[in-house]
Amino acid sequence: MKELGQSQYKIILPLLKEIDFETAFSYSSVENRQKGRIFVDTVINPGVALFWHYCGFAYLAGDPDKSDFDFLSRLFAGKFEYGQRRFILHISQKKME
């Protein structure tokens, strides 16, 4: 997965609309109101996005089959970022059914 720069955040708006709960964290990152990081499978027409808010909440939106699970496993293990305190992942049930 590739991390987007803040100037690229608008390309993931269609995926952001798929998050059906606790949307304030993801929208605040996209709108640069609070710190967060956004990762996508591809910059051109992304099919999956990971929104990671600075407080530790993360949201996976889009097609989970397009996720890079090696990348996610590093996040889960806390090996991705120095000083990472937590990573709480939320996934919409709509895509998992």
- Pair 68, 41: CB distance under 8 Å: yes
**Count of H helices and E strands in the chain?**
4, 5
Q: What is the pLDDT of residues 14-59, one digit of tens each?
A: 887 777 777 777 777 788 888 888 888 888 888 888 888 877 788 8
Residue pair 4/40 in contact (Cβ under 8 Å)? The answer is yes
Under the banding of pLDDT at 50, 70 and 90, the label for residue 94 is low
Reported pTM: 0.75
Structure tokens at 86: 């937590």
